[in-house]
Amino acid sequence: MQLDELISMVSRLPPARQQEVIDFAAFLEQRYGDNSKTNQAEWTGKDFKTMSVEQAMRGIEDEPELYSDSDIRER
């Protein structure tokens, strides 16, 4: 019953907030899950950079536009 309720709640959220729920669930799984069942490989530099960029850009589509084309002085 709880899983169905959770799925229903998350499905009503905007996509950016759904991603936050997924990220939090992954955090909880990593922190409290059974680590003996998961095969965690070492992060490569490329993996870390990809994750870093994804985290930095998360939610940027929800931010308001600060500047328009009329603000450009030189082209």
Extract the tokens encoding 18.
């759904």
**Digit-coded pLDDT (tens) for 28-57:** 888 888 765 555 567 788 888 888 988 888
Chain centroid to Cα 58, Å, comes to: 6
pLDDT of residue 40: 55
Question: Of 12 and 46, which is predicted with more confidence?
Answer: 12
DSSP labels, 15-36: HHHHHHHHHHHHHHHHHHS-TT
pLDDT of residue 13: 92
Residue 62 has pLDDT above 80, yes or no: yes
